[in-house]
Each structure stands twice: as C-alpha cells, then as structure tokens.
Structure 1
Amino acid sequence: MSIIIGVNAYHGDSAACLVRDGKLVAAAEEERFRRVKHWAGFPSESIRYCLAEAGLTLADVDHIALNQDTSANLVRKITYAALKRPSLSLISDRIRNKRERLGVAEQLDATLGKGFKGRVHQVEHHLAHLSSAFHVSPFEEAAVVSVDGFGDFASAAWGYGRGSEISIDDKVYFPHSLGIFYEALTKWLGFPHYGDEYKVMGLAPYGAPDHLDAMRKIVLLQDDGSFKLDLAFFRHATEKVSYEWENGAPVSASNLFTPALEGLLGPARQPGTELTQRHKDIARSVQAMYEEAFFHLLAAVHAKHGGTRICIAGGCGMNSVANGKIYSRSPFREAYIQSAAGDAGGAIGAAFAVWHEAGGSRDFVMDHAYWGPHATPDELQTLVEAQRTAIEAAGCTITHVADEAALCTRTATAIAAGKVIGWFQGRMEWGPRALGNRSILGDPRRADMKDFLNLKIKRRESFRPFAPSVLAEAVPDWFTETDDVPFMMQVYPIRPERQASIPAVCHVDGSGRLQTVRAETNPRYHRLISAFEAQTGVPMLLNTSFNENEPVVCQPQEALDCFLRTRMDVLVLGDWLIERHESPA
C-alpha cells in the first residue's frame, strides 16, 4: 500500500490531500479550519483531517509531495538576476523564503507530532498544476495548459498528456504573466484584496471592450502562442512583491503597477468609490484581453498536438467566463477543469505526479468534489439538542425529518415560496465553489432574490452574479451548451427564450455559471432539485456558498452560527429542519 500526502504550502489557499494506492481519499483547504480566507502557510489542520478521514497516522505515510521545487528553472533565475539586477532585498527575501520551505519534515514534527519516516518530494509548480487536471480527468490523452500568477519562476506551461505521462512543451517565465496582468488591473479597478479577480469577471458584462487597444499595449502576444508583458507598466520585475506568505491571510500587493499604467488608462479607482461606466468598460476590456491571450495559446497548443480534448489548471483556470468559450473559440471539444484549479489543487497534482513517477497505474477519475469533512447523524443531533434553547429563542422551530423524500419536498416548497435555505449535507466540497453540500439556496425565478442575497445575506457588491445548479439531464433545454460541468467552472449562455423565467441566475449578458448535478454523485441534492422541478417546472436552484464574508462553512456549528446571525429562513442540517418564524432583530 502506498500513502501519499499532497501539500500546497505558503501560497494562498494552502491545502492538503491524501492519495492511497492512486485514489484520492480526502482533500481540504486550510482556510476552512483556520476560518481565514485564502489562508497561507503550512496546512497542518488539513493534513490532520486527511489522516483522520483515512484512519491513518503520520507513521503510515510513505511520501509527502509538495507542489513547488526550489531547484526548478534555476538557470533562468540566475540569468535573470545577473541581467536585470533586481533589488538586493528582493533577492535576499526569496532566498530566505526558499530555505524556510525546505523543512517540511520539521513542520510536520512541530505541528502534528513526530512519526513521519517517509520521503519528501518537491514537484515543480506547473507540473503539479498539469497533473492536478490531467491525471484525475477521464481522458486517456489530452492537451494540457496551466496559467497563473507565478510558481517556481514560471507563469504558464503547456504540453500533452498521454496515459500516465505529461510532456511539457514550453513555459512562460518570470516576469511575464497573464495572472499578474489580471491582478494589476484588478487593483487599478479598486478591488484591493487577494482573490478579487473574480469581481472583475462579474463586472465585465456590464461594459464594452472599448479599451482593448490599450490592453494590447500591456500584453504582447508572441508568434509561438505565448505572451509577454510591457514591463514599463509593472513593478514586480524589479521590486519586492510578495507571493509567498507564512501562517495567515495572503496580503495582495498594492504596488503592482507603475504610474505608466495610470498614464495609459487614467487614475486608478479608489476602493469604495463609485463604479463608473468607464470602469465597467475597462473591466470588460481586461477580460477580453485575457481571453485573447488565452485562446492564442490554445490555438498554438492545438496546432502542435491536434486532438479535441484539453485539461486546464492554474489560478487563471478559475476564469469560468473564458472556460465557457473554449468550444466556440478553439478547436477543442471536450474540456476538464477540476474543482480546485488554483494553487490548492496543486496539492492533488503533486500527489498524483509522485504516484505516477513511481510507476503507479492510472485508474482514478475525479467526477465529484466531495472530499472534505462531514458530520455524523449523532453529531448533528448532539449539536441541535445542545443549541435548542438558543435556536428556539431566535424564533425557530426544529423538526427531524428522517424520510429523505419528505425532507426534499418540504425544502423545495420553502424555496418555491421565496425562502432562503442554508443547506448543509454530506462531505464538504473541495475547491472554492459550493456544489450542493455547503450551499445557500434560493428560487431562480425570483427577480428580487439576487439583490436580497447580495445585500442581506452575503453582504457583497450588487453586480455579483449567482449560479444555477441544474439537473444534468435538463441542461440542453436551458443552455446553448450541453457540456457536463460538475464543478461550476464554465459560464454558458442561457437560451434566450428561457432567460426571463430565471432572472436570479441569469447574468446581465444572458449567461449563467452552471453546475450540472447528477444523481450518481450527489443523490440528495439531485432529489431536492427534482422536487423543486416537480412543483415549479424549473429544474434548477440558485446556489451560492454557505458563508457570510468568511470561508465556506466546514462544521455544523459554523453553519448554525451563520444561519442565526443572518436573514436565512431555513437551515437544513442533515435530516434536521430548522425554520425561522420570526425575523431576526
């Protein structure tokens, strides 16, 4: 038996997974345990969970696979330092960071106790990304592409996967990066926090790509399919911009762009100030430029390898808008993008890269994302009984509904009546998307539902869209694409004749970031949506993550706390139905 723990450490979204004999057993992001968004550092709690889920101890672990290799691209690093002469503080900080990251075994000893006697492997960052997509995909062979900010001195890599082997054709190296381009423009638009790029995606459909010519001065497409940045607009090539953090929330760089960018586009928007039409147009232009570069790269990859299948990974693989255009703007006809395409997913990629390097067979497909912690019926009952007084004092009634069909029917009836549901079931999702186990649910037919959720529950910007969870068998009747999208990683157009009937999940451009739901992978959630369809004729629910400006809830106590402090109407906690009959103060 072979036990491998994959680790994403020190980058944002620290995470761990456990692979036993080539099959994934458990995976979780550290933020869910630490309750700090995008937590960066050593993922000791995620490792602790994975071991407990597998019934193992550190002594049982044969390999630790880390999704970075301090020796990767070393010649490139030395050459860059010699030619460009970046600041001494930048070089010394990076050397110190690398030294600190060599002590994985010591970190295990310090956080989980002694006992690990296996081997630590460093896996080059982009190989881990590519493995995280291809090695768990259903494809025997496929083109593979990874695009992100930076990792191991590179920002992109591409090639081809066949069987257990991944061959890398080429990379884009520091300081050129599509991820840095998108992040810098995100900052210019006044969104300052780590991970705010998805806000630009949400804002873009409200604008027009009127500034694409300016974007083409910033991102320069190359004949080989790659890209470069005009470095006059960026600071990261010569000044310290941190992308590795220790034990806390990653702090996004505020000094990423130079005055030259403001000379090109005008003064940067200050956070919290009005979003003008010009800002919306620039957001659309940023997205359009990213897509232009992304599909330029995909065209070159296809020209070399042919085929119809592609696997996408890296932080930019979270760009669901671009992902939804792969079939219309490239020759590829099947795509696989796993639920944690960003750095967290590198934990899985590192583990599977080590498994296959050792000659392990390939017989695992990740067709669902439910790899996190769960609560037993006894644990849920204990919580409800212990909190009964507080729950009833909040104007709620408690009912245990043992029959799943009855539970789903009652919940569907509440949703159809316009109520907002906190839905806590089974194992927590792997990756940033709530996929029906840690979700807030609503009626997609209600035009007021989006604003209510954004302002009263999620407390976020009004332009942010919500996603539909759709019965897989019903997708062709509602969307122009019929792909299977289990991880909510693609945005597709909603059929024009259907858009008016589901305004809460139809974005301003007529699109939706759908999640396809199958009975085989999530039978209870499929049953709930089916019950809603039986009552309304609509085979989908509005689905957003179960949280309120915090990481997605992990444990049932967190779900109950979030329910009680917000204006949700119903909490379905396993088989327990908690209904609010008085509005909270």
Structure 2
Amino acid sequence: MDQVPGVILGLCSFTHDSAAALLVHGKLVGFVEEERLSGQKHTREYPHHAIAWLLGRAGLAPTDVDAVAYNFQPARYLAEVPASARLLLSSATRSRALPRATGFAKVAVRTQRRLQYLRREFPRARVVPVLHHRAHQLIAFAASGWHEAAVLVMDSLGERQTTTVAHGHYAERPCIRSLEEIRDPASLGYVYGAVTEHLGWRRGDEEGTVMALAALGDAARFRPVFARALRTTATGFVVDPAYFPPRALHSGYPRISPLFTTDTCPPRNPEEPPQQVHQDLAAALQERTEQVMRHLARRAHRVTGSRRLCVGGGVATNCVSIGRIVEEGIFDEVFVPPAPGDAGTAIGAAIAVHADTGSRQPLEGVARACYLGPSYPQPHLDLTRRPGLKQKMLGGEAAEFLADQLAQGMIVGLFQGRVEAGPRALGNRSILASPLENGVVERLNATVKFRESFRPFAPIALAERAGEFFTLGQDAPYMSMASQVTAKAREQIPAVVHANGTSRLQTVTAQQNLFMHDVLQAFGRRTGVPVLINTSLNVRGKPICGTPEMALDCLATSGLDALLLEGRWITK
C-alpha cells in the first residue's frame, strides 16, 4: 500500500457466519456476527447491521475506511483446477476430477466478484484478500496474549488448505510463520460434517449435537471403519476416498459413499429418534476425531518446540477433543479464541492487513477479549406488544437478587453488557439455572431450548474454585474445553456432567466479567456451590440474542421464568 491504513474493516461474508471487525490505528473498536443483529442464524448475507454499528461506534463513514480485509483469496482456489487432474489416476476418484476442477474455478470467480462488490461499497478503500488460514492463525494467536506459541488450525476448507501448523511470535505486532499444511481432500471438518448430515442433522450447524450423542454410543462397533477412512501419517492424516469422495463444490455430489453406508447404516431421517446404531456411529466418529486431533497437536509441538498451543478453525469447536489435548499434557497450556470459526477470521484478516502494511501502532483490544459487540445500557422497552410481560427495576443488588432467584429454582435469561464473540454465551447473553435442581436438564431441553433430551448443559464456575469440581488444570474462559470432573462434582452437581464424564467448562474471574463473578459468589454463599448451568440465550434454530427485542421474544416464546435485562427484572 502507498500509505499505512488507519481504518481497517475486516469481513467474513457471503459464505456463512457473516461478521465484521474494525481496527482503528491498531485498536479493535469491536466485532460482531451479523446473526446477532439480524436474527438469521449462520447468515451468509453481507453484514450490513454489523458494519453500520461498527462505523457508528467509531464515528466514521464508509468513505473513512482505508482498507477492507476479506477472509479468502480467490487466486488460491484456481490452483486446485490443474491439481484436480491427479484424481484421474484412481478409479475411486476419477469421476470427481472434472466436477472438482470446475467447482473450484467457479468459487474462484465468485470470490473475485465478491471483492468487486466490496470495492463498490468502499470506493476509497483498498480491498485486500487474506489467506483464510492465515486469518484463523492470527486471531487464534493474537487473542491468546502470548508472546510465542504453536498455532494449529483445522477446518473444513480454506481455499485449498484444511489443516496448518504455524509458529506465532510477537515483536512489534503478531507474526505468523507457517510451517506445514494439509490440503483438501484430507479434511477433518469435511468428514465430521458429512457424518453429521448422514446422521440427520444440519451440516455446518449441528456437529455439536453429534458430539453430544457420541457419549451414548459404543465406538468399538465402527472403529475399524474410521481407522480405514481416516488414517494418520507421520505428518498428518489422509481421508480414504472410498468412504468420503473428494468434494466437488457443486450441489448434487454426495459426501458419503455407498460403501460407507454399507459398512455403517442408512441415513437417519431427521424426524425419527436416534437409535443405538446412530449413537455408535457418532461415538466412532468422535473417537477418531480426537485421535487425529491429538496426533496433529503432537506434530505441532514437534515442529515448533513450543510449550503453548493456540487452536483455531471450525474443528476447534470440538470441545471434547480440545479437552483431550489438554489432558495429554503435550503443552503447558492450550488456548482457543472465543470465535475460532470463520466469523473470527474477520478480526484475523484485519490484523493481517495491519501487520503487513508496516504499521507501528500496537495492536490493542484483541488479547483475552470476548465481549466485543453492541451493548444497550439504557434500552427503551415497549412491553405493550407483549401484554403478558411485566418489569421492575432492580437497584445495585441485582447480582444478589439474581443469585437468590436461581437458588430458588428459577430459570433466568441474562442480557447485560456487550455481545459475546463466538458461538458460546459467556455470561452476557446467557440462560442460567441452578445445577442443584432435580430435573433441571430435562426442563431446559424440553421447555426452554426445545432440543434433544440427550444434549448436556455446560457449567460456569468461579475460576478460583473450579479445581474443587473440575480437573482441567487451566482456565477455560470461553467454554471451549471439556473437562473431567471430580468426585465432588459427581456427587453435588451431576446435572452438568455428561454421559462421558466430562463438562464443557467456563471459568470466570472478576477481571473477565465482574457481574457474573458476583452472581457466582452470591450463589455459592447460598448453596455452597459456586457453579451454575450456563447456556446461550436463544431457542433452537435461532441465534444468540444480540438485541433487547430478541431477548424479549426469547422470554415470551420459551419456558424461561424471567429475564434480567440491564437491571430490569422482566417476568411473565
């Protein structure tokens, strides 16, 4: 660039999980996923609402933007077009060679058109395409706040890459040195999504449901299938095309082969309850995923020599596998950013442009930050459209009041402060309940979240007392790691212990979230247990509530008992 850009807009758009981030002279003004403002879960639409909020917060106009960082590079897709000819060498892949080549070519053209669209939206800005995995690497490393770490990114597909190992270090700005890569069609995200769809859930949305179902199954039944389908190598892994044909990036080309169906089971009808065979298939998939992810983590340690690991990409949301990596002790500490999936690459892409243009401005507001979206400190609430709701204002004892209601068995929505980044509610857009109440999990699943009865609920715990109940041995601020539990947890709070003996833990410090810390302390004084159930403020099929109106709708249409919305106690 001719000059160092002071205002950088980072975008994830047109694919899924649209989001926007804004850096102004190196400081992160904010980040928000479009779904939190539009109400459309996993939206791929251009993030109009997110961009408008960011520019408004900074007091800027679109003409003030110096650079737009986009999270894909179209030219990288084109490189796969001639490379697809290698599929002609095997009878198992020959039929996919031409559709794969044309599919990658079409995506390259489509991505170039998206860049042209952005140039029209921001005519005074330079639009910079950023390598997808580099965007993942930078947000994973920069968000850790560490000066040095191994960086492992695993997703379904970023241009041609599916898995990368890099070394991160911090000089004047975060720097990433890529060391190894695995290219498509070897893709953990592709395999997990394909089996999720085969099991009757939405690929790209409900992989977490399959991970939960896995705890109920016996992996031994289909272990040989996945040992053949996902084979580890000295430097990574390969996928057997006889089970998972190479992707074509065209609709109408299945991701599951007839051989896979023959060796496992027919596709499940989403309307039918899962059977034992589905549980066993999920268990085998999850077990093999954990084995491959641990293998990749060991490889990252070997090639970097680092004692710390940052993990990014959509596969990093597999909290059970991340917990297994922590337990193995390969690294002293493991970090997953609050938004490890594609939405977070909006921040990563902006950081890439900031770093590449030689800015001397230090990066601010990224390290250990998760509350990055809009807040509504004094919302105007019109309850006349919802005549069944009533409200009262709470004073300075809101934390004590909330803890008391939770201790009495109420299930309460909490809407406070800025919207969280990433797929987990972290105490600002949460549904809270006591883990000591009989039948609380069943009630939450059936009448509040409207989801499958086998789905577990995560605990949120005081960081300073988490060791009494969970054995993870490190902080887990973003609910991204599954931990084994202690005997005390099994005895006192079995509601947050899943069938596999783990809990997807979130630890909270006063520095991270003072109000939530106060609530946990107050609940602990009343019950002796400073742990609550924490799930996202939404119902199935809807995104986490980003606005007061969305939160009121959630209260009105679900089995929530009450909503604490910025100091207002709202009940039915």
Shift of the alpha carbon at 1:537? Answer: 1.2
1:231 has 2:241 as partner = yes
| Deviation at residue 189 of structure 1 after TM alignment | 2.0
1:366 matched residue in structure 2: 367
Worse-matched range after superposition: 85-94 or 498-507: 85-94
Do 1:16 and 1:46's aligned partners in 2 also have CA atoms closer than 8 Å?
yes
TM-score scaled by length of structure 2: 0.92
1:20 aligns with 2:11: no
- In 2, the alpha carbon distance for the partners of 1:333 and 1:283 equals 30
- Residue 158 of structure 2 is matched in structure 1 by 151
Gaps of 5+ in 2: 89-93
Give secondary structure in 2 for the equivalent of 1:514.
strand
Specify the code of the residue in structure 2 equivalent to 1:179.
Answer: G
SS of corresponding position for 2:49: helix
2:212 aligned with 1:205: no
5 Å-filtered alignment, 1:133-532, equals 133-163=140-170, 164-210=174-220, 211-224=222-235, 226-237=236-247, 239-241=248-250, 255-360=254-359, 362-364=362-364, 365-377=366-378, 380=379, 382-383=380-381, 386-387=382-383, 389-391=384-386, 393-394=387-388, 396-403=389-396, 406-532=397-523
Q: Any idea what SS the aligned residue of 1:231 has?
A: coil
Distance 2:77 2:115 in 1: 24
Task: Assess if the C-alpha contact under 8 Å between 1:77 and 1:153 holds in 2.
Answer: no
Residue 452 of structure 1, CA deviation = 0.4
The structural deviation recorded for 1:220 is: 1.3
Q: Secondary structure at the match of 2:563?
A: strand
1:92 Cα shift?
4.1
RMSD: 2.1
- For residues 114 and 123 of structure 2, the distance between their equivalents in structure 1, rounded to whole angstroms, comes to 10
Q: 1:43 aligns with which of 47, 50, 55?
A: 47
Say yes or no: does 1:127 pair with 2:134. yes
- The 3-state SS of whatever aligns with 1:149 is strand
Q: Taking structure 1 as reference, are residues 191 and 83 closer, same or farther at Cα in structure 2, changes over 3 Å only?
A: closer
- Give CA deviations for 1:529-584 in whole Å, capped at 9, x if unaligned: 2111111111121111111121111110111121112221111110111133xxxx
Deviation at 1:265, TM superposition (A): 1.2
Cα deviation for residue 88 of structure 1 reads 5.1
Identity of aligned residues (%): 34
Report Cα offsets for 1:272-314 as digits up to 9, x if no partner: 2232223212211111101111111111221222121011001
1:136 match: secondary structure = helix
AA aligned opposite 1:217: R
Label 1:153 to 1:77 Cα distance change in 2 as closer, same or farther (>3 A).
Answer: farther
2:563 to 562, 567, 571: 571
- Counterpart Cα distance in 2 of 1:254 and 1:515: 39
Amino acid at match of 2:563: L
Cα drift, residue 148 of structure 1: 0.6
The answer to whether the Cα contact below 8 Å between 1:340 and 1:431 also exists between their aligned partners in 2 is yes
- Structure 2 distance, partners of 1:372, 1:327, is 29
**SS of residue matched to 2:242:** helix
Cα 1:96–1:213 change in 2 (3 A) is closer
Per-residue deviation, residues 441-498 of structure 1 (Å, max 9, x unmatched) = 1111123111101110110001111111111111111111231111110010111222
CA contact (8 A) 1:298 1:330 kept: no
Q: 1:121 offset after TM fit, Å?
A: 0.8
Question: Residue 451 of structure 2: SS of its match in structure 1?
Answer: coil
Of stretches 420-429 and 472-481 in structure 1, the one that deviates more from structure 2 is 472-481
Indicate how the Cα distance of structure 1 residues 115 and 261 shifts in structure 2: closer, same or farther if over 3 A, else same.
closer
CA distance in 1, matches of 2:428, 2:202: 30
How many angstroms does 1:93 deviate by?
4.7
Q: Structure 1 length as normaliser, TM-score? A: 0.90
Letter in 1 for 2:392: T
Counterpart code for 2:68:
I
SS in structure 2 opposite 1:33? helix
Q: Does 1:32 align with 2:25?
A: no
Task: Give the residue type in structure 2 aligned to 1:46.
Answer: A
> Is the deviation greater in 271-280 or in 446-455?
271-280
After superposition, give the CA deviation of every residue in 1:507-545 in whole Å (9 maximum; x if it has no partner): 122211111112112111211121111111111211111
Aligned length: 555
Alignment deviations for residues 369-402 of structure 1 (CA, whole Å, 9 cap, x no partner): 111111131xx2x21xx31x455x41x4421113
Amino acid at match of 1:410: F
Instruction: Name the amino acid aligned to 1:3.
Output: V
What per-residue deviation string (whole Å, max 9, x for no partner) do you get for residues 204-224 of structure 1? 111232122211110111122
Supply the distance in 1 between the matched residues of 2:284 and 2:177 (Cα, whole angstroms). Answer: 33
| Structure 1: unaligned runs, 5 residues or longer | 243-252, 581-585
Contact 2:229 2:244 in 1 (8 A): no
Q: Aligned residue for 2:538?
A: 547
Q: Give the superposition deviation at 1:106.
A: 5.0
Tell me the equivalent position of 2:15. 11
Cα distance in 1 for residues equivalent to 2:487 and 2:426? 25
